[in-house]
Structure 1
Amino acid sequence: MFICEAILKKKYFILPLIFYYITLSAQIDRETRAVWLASNFRLDWPPPTYNQEKQKEALKDILDNLESKNYNTIYFQVRFNGTVLFESSYEPWSYYLTGIVGGKPDYDPLEFIIEEAHKRGMELHAWFNMVRCYSGTEKNVFNYPQHLITTHPNWVQKIYLDGQTSYWLDPGLPEVRKYLTDLVVEVAKKYDVDGIHLDYIRYPSREMDDSFSYSIYGEDKNKAQWRRDNITDIVGGIKKQITQINKDIKLGAAPIGVYFNKPNASGMQAFSEVYQESRLWLKEGLVDYLAPQIYWDFDNNPKFNLLVDDWVNDAFGRNIVVGIASYKEEVKNETPRMIDYTRKAGAEGVAFFRYEHIKNQNYFDSKAFPAPMQWKEHGPPIAPANLSAEILNEETNKVKLTWAIPQVLMGSEEIKYYAIYNLDKPTDELSSENLFKVIPAEKNELVFTIINPAKINYYFHVRSLDKFWDESSTGTNIVTLKIPQFKNIAQNITSNLGARLLKQNGINYIVVESDKEDSVIVTANNIEKQINKSAVKKGINIIELEELLKDYNSLQLWFVKKQTKVNLKKNN
């Protein structure tokens, strides 16, 4: 186990380093794994406190959890109910931070989460509630003098829908479209976001009373198409301006999950009921990805699989990241199957609504880089070089990997991250399974500890990544770390050992060689008692037995996948 920039609980020592220069090929999974991190009503963050240090710690805890569960993209809600979580010239700060609407906090949450997400090798997309500008019962927000409802009452429509009241801007007004565009573009100008994520980029329903704006600006167009054009105009305006500011920012949106009704896939239709012509956005390249809200299961109308197929088949070469309703029990029970189906259907990833409902779930066994976007990519970055290691403290076994930052050549991509690999053998191909850390390119070192080592040798390798997750075609040399605790054990290892029980410093170890990944179960007295179960990787593994063996006459090692058994001889 690796703990980065932490303190080891046991004392180990590292032997001198061995260097390998071997050409490795990369086989890293590319799949967007996103989570909506909801701020409205404090659903996911911030916690119910105005202590801003506690707010920041809570946000770091969320990011640590997401990193440990191998997510790579966060949709962080920055605008909701007409208040925001960033420094804005247009809308007031959310009172969630200080207790006062418009009260400026001591830190900028958007700036903070961008930096913290990048530290963990994750993308951060700023998520905006667009056309809806207020819902709920927070009267301090509703009555704030600088809220849109008060400052621009002629822009706002009061909507009664499904027994609830909400307030929506009228997209038929050019000044509304400009306002929303400017609000989003402000973030692109000020912040190092990886993406912009548009939600509620639609009309509330057919019944919205926009007769005034239509009478002035409709120009005798079909009203339904005029409405669709108004929404598309916002998306297109945002795309044009953020591309001028930073062409690398990804633009995405979360449309309603049913575009057109189809057999066994019918519901509220995005195209004709809320006027989202989002497939035109895909076709014309106005968005880089869509995250359609396919918030249903496999068995009931509308059926999850039919909707996934419908979106993927009309993606026009852009990314489809399938939105999954993790808050629904019938969906949660089928989530692994859903993830598998999106992969088979050819979607570029999944997004979960919302963090609260996935924080204790583990859906991904290994890391992945976000899905590629060929229309944005320009080629791999320059490779790092000269990987070395330094023992910072032998008592605590703190180790630092350091590598040389390459000089960016004309025409090459700028380095955004470094990927650090922990290989089982120096000749292994790179894979998602042996990628253990991604860090921002501002750093060319990684400090970590090895706790409860399970191998005799650890092999490390580093490659560079650009902002679109293209990896350098080559990387550093491979550095080998040897664990001296296992020095005597290593001397006893011979080829084709299978498994051997050894004792050192009063501790029993099983040294086991496997030709593939497997699980092993250690039993005593011919299955009378199970004393250990461990996962093993291809190559030589070490299993430490915590239980005393003096009371057992015999030990057995069972390979689960190979379905074989090895009898072990006890040490005295």
Structure 2
Amino acid sequence: MAYPNRNRPSTDHETSAPIPRTAAPRTRPRTALLAGALATALTAALVHAPQAVAAPAPLNPPTCETDPEAPPKHQMRAEWIAGVLNIDWPSRQGLTPAEQQAELTDLYDGAVDNGLNAVFVQVRPTADAFWPSPYEPWSEWLTGEQGGDPGYDPLEFAVEQAHERNLEFHAWYNPYRVAMHEDVDALVEDHPARQNPDWVFEYGGKLYYDPGVPEAREFVIEAMMHSVENYDIDGVHFDDYFYPYPVSGATIPDQDTFAEHGTGFDDVEDWRRNNVDLMVEGMSDAINAVKPQVKFGISPFGIWRNSSTDPNGSDTNGSQSYDNQFADSRKWVLEGWLDYINPQVYWEIGLPVADYSVLVPWWEEVAAGTDTHLYIGQAAYKAGNAGAWEDPNELSSHLDFNRDHPGVQGDVYFSATSLRTNAKEAMDIVVENHYSSPALVPVKEDLGGTVPAPPRVGVNGAGALEITPGPGEAPAYYAVYGFDGRPARGQAPCGIEDPRTMLGTVRAGDDGSATFAVPESGDTTYYVTAVHRLHHESRASKPQYLP
């Protein structure tokens, strides 16, 4: 992940701009009222997947036309919340549990205010843990002391609070980084890296697990999987760090590892790429075996390879993750190991060395025909920088461009703090131009899941909607839609497929019920749909009219 002091890429990663089929897909058993005039012009396709349970007969939809101006109803809208170096959360070491919790819920509330529907929260920044792990110590970024108990379970709290706001929660891990310093003896005595020094190398002033050591690879997968198995997370997320970014004048010290484990490889770089592939595929398989409904995604550096190096590459001239981090991200998509790819396209439209308008279509083509969703990593941390980023419209222009590329199914912003500081004006424009209506997280059909029965809707004494589940499996949440005037008799409304009719979503409680406070306006008809954990949406409920 790029951090605020990194300005990537150009042809030199450490200097100015960022340095720069057919394959078996991964298969797994796996808020504003719309005026009446618009409500007669929009689509009424109310089912995303086959009904899995018996449900009341649906209302008969009229013939509707799709509004070509309607925004996407399913769209990933997320932000990264970084823990390393206390970039986002916690903002500093040693906060009390109450202070840490207040900070995180404040970030979550900001995400909701910005129209986001997911958070990618860093829970293993440096071979440590934001949960009580039996494999690795408590993170120093929590208390200031590696191994120091923060007094509560931050991961449990983070997941619960995200779901309470109906934000999808992706746990973000750094697989190989051990420490932001080079002193093994400074790690806590029982740290696995200190107990197994042959698993570790020092490079560029930092410590890393050596991806070429099979035991180290297996260990990091096992350590991360502990949280997957024990917490109600929605996704597993890696950023762009595999082998470390190149440091001028330094050589990765893995020649002895290559000599011991490199049988079958003549080239150390091919061997390194294979090591990373083994970890990515291994993590994919481990998730699939335990919780196939949990999505697995990676956010690689935005350039795989340049076309001048490889005819399959992009028309760019920057640093290449295939060669520098030994990350064959294109292969991971084509092999079906990932549920989503989220390249960090951290450059402006028109930048010659790495043009946003060149890279997004390139990634769209890579993902086309696969089951891998494509989300774009957006450099909110650059907003306000000299040049193109001085224009607060730059981020919104990226989303304008994406609308013309239907293979792009959403965006993720680095990072949460930037969206409320240097990028606040830019994000306000994004919200106004693109996020003024809610969106549901995209459905990944190959993960399985069922379509819930339509819910039942009533009104309580306070005038709020009381929602209870229909028969069968209870949904994860509900989506509420509002239309002016009385309902058409015996008909479902046009427009439920248009998110501009959606007032918002509300998480279902343990019993499957929910309460939704409607806006203070009269002569409105409300419809509610039930939504599965994997975002399959039911048909509409019977109408609830409030005069």
TM-score range, shorter chain: 0.7 to 0.9
- CA 1:141–1:92 in 2, change beyond 3 Å: closer, same or farther? farther
Contact 1:342 1:350 in 2 (8 A): no
- 1:114-151 per-position Cα deviation (integer Å, ceiling 9, x unaligned): 111112221100000112222269x9994432334423
Q: Distance in 1 between matches of 2:185 and 2:76?
A: 35
> What residue number does 1:120 align with?
165
Contact 2:217/2:279, CA 8 A, preserved across alignment: yes
**Secondary structure of the equivalent of 2:479?**
strand
SS at match of 2:108: helix
Say whether residues 1:293 and 2:344 are aligned partners.
Answer: yes
Instruction: Give runs of aligned pairs for residues 498-509 of structure 1, distance below 5 A.
Output: none
Moved more, 425-434 or 363-372: 425-434
Confirm or deny that 1:348 pairs with 2:393.
no
Q: Does 1:441 align with 2:493?
A: no
1:234-255 alpha-carbon deviations (Å, 9 max, x no partner) = 1111111111111100000111
Using the alignment, how far apart are the partners of 1:211 and 1:229 within structure 2? Answer: 15
CA–CA distance in 2 between the matches of 1:50 and 1:352? 25
The aligned counterpart of 2:39 is none
The correspondence for 1:373, drawn from 417, 436, 444, is 444
Rounded to whole Å, the distance in 1 between the matches of 2:179 and 2:459 is: 54
Following the alignment from structure 1 to structure 2, what is the Cα–Cα distance between the partners of residues 85 and 195?
A: 16
Give the one of 504, 508, 530 matched to 1:464: 530
Q: Tell me the alpha carbon deviations over residues 9-48 of structure 1, each in whole angstroms, 9 at most, x when there is no partner.
A: xxxxxxxxxxxx9556898611111111111121111133
| Greater C-alpha Rg | 1
1:221-240 maps to which residues of 2 (within 5 A)? 221=265, 222-240=267-285
Q: Which has the higher contact order (CA 8 A, sep 6+)?
A: 2
SS of the aligned residue for 1:46 comes to: coil
> Which range is displaced more, 123-132 or 324-333?
324-333
Any residues of structure 2 matched to 1:201-350 within 5 Å, and which?
201-205=241-245, 207-221=251-265, 222-262=267-307, 265-300=316-351, 301-315=353-367, 316-317=369-370, 318-328=372-382, 329=385, 330-331=388-389, 333-345=393-405, 346-350=407-411
Tell me, yes or no, if the aligned pair for 1:37 and 1:44 is still in contact at 8 Å: yes
CA distance in 1, matches of 2:469, 2:355: 50
1:369-408 to 2 correspondences below 5 Å:
369-385=440-456, 387-391=457-461, 398-408=462-472
User: What residue in structure 1 maps to residue 234 of structure 2?
Assistant: 194
Deviation at 1:422, TM superposition (A): 2.7
Determine if contact 1:201/1:231 at 8 Å carries over to the other structure: no
CA pair 438-59 structure 1, distance change in 2 beyond 3 A:
same
* 1:479 match: 544
Number of residue pairs matched? 444
Amino acid in structure 2 at the alignment position of 1:235: V
CA separation in 2, counterparts of 1:338 and 1:308?
10
Distance 1:437 1:140, change over 3 A: farther
Bigger CA drift: 292-301 or 248-257? 292-301
1:179 to 203, 216, 219: 219
Distance change (3 Å), C-alpha of 1:232 and 1:201: farther
Question: Residue 25 of structure 2 corresponds to which residue in structure 1?
Answer: none
How far residue 205 of structure 1 moved from its aligned partner, in angstroms, is 4.8
Gaps of 5+ in 2: 1-30, 33-57, 309-314, 488-492
* Structure (1 or 2) with the greater strand fraction: 1
Q: Is contact 1:36–1:351 with CA below 8 Å preserved after alignment?
A: yes
- Change in 2 beyond 3 A, CA 1:146/1:23: farther
Which deviates more from structure 2 when the two are superposed, residues 26-35 or residues 314-323? 26-35
Secondary structure, counterpart of 1:193 in structure 2: coil
C-alpha distance 87-375 of structure 1, shift in aligned 2 (>3 A): same
Distance 1:268 1:172 in 2: 23
**1 CA distance for matches of 2:481 and 2:114?**
17
- State the alpha-carbon separation in 1 of the partners of residues 419 and 87 from structure 2: 13
Using the alignment, how far apart are the partners of 1:237 and 1:198 within structure 2?
13
Mapped to 1, the partners of 2:245 and 2:165 lie a distance apart of 40
Q: Deviations over 1:44-71 (max 9, x none)?
A: 1113352211211221111111112111
Give the distance between the partners of 2:132 and 2:483, measured in 1 at CA.
44
**Do residues 47 (structure 1) and 91 (structure 2) align?**
yes
Which residue of 1 is the match for residue 14 of structure 2? Answer: none
- What is the identity, as a one-letter code, of the residue corresponding to 2:318? G
- Describe the SS at the equivalent of 1:348: strand
Shift of 1:447: 5.0
Q: What's the TM-score, normalizing by structure 1?
A: 0.73
How much does 1:407 deviate?
A: 2.4
Q: Residues 333 and 405 (structure 1 numbering): CA distance in 2 closer, same or farther, change over 3 Å?
A: closer
* SS of aligned partner of 1:35: strand
Determine the C-alpha separation between the residues in 2 that align with 1:351 and 1:141: 37
Counterpart residue type for residue 286 of structure 1: W
Q: Report what 1:11 is aligned to.
A: none
Give the unaligned 5+ runs of structure 1.
Answer: 3-20, 392-397, 483-572
SS of 2:530's equivalent in the other structure is: strand
Give matches, 1:480-495, under 5 Å.
480-482=545-547
Look up the SS of the partner of 2:331 in the other structure.
helix
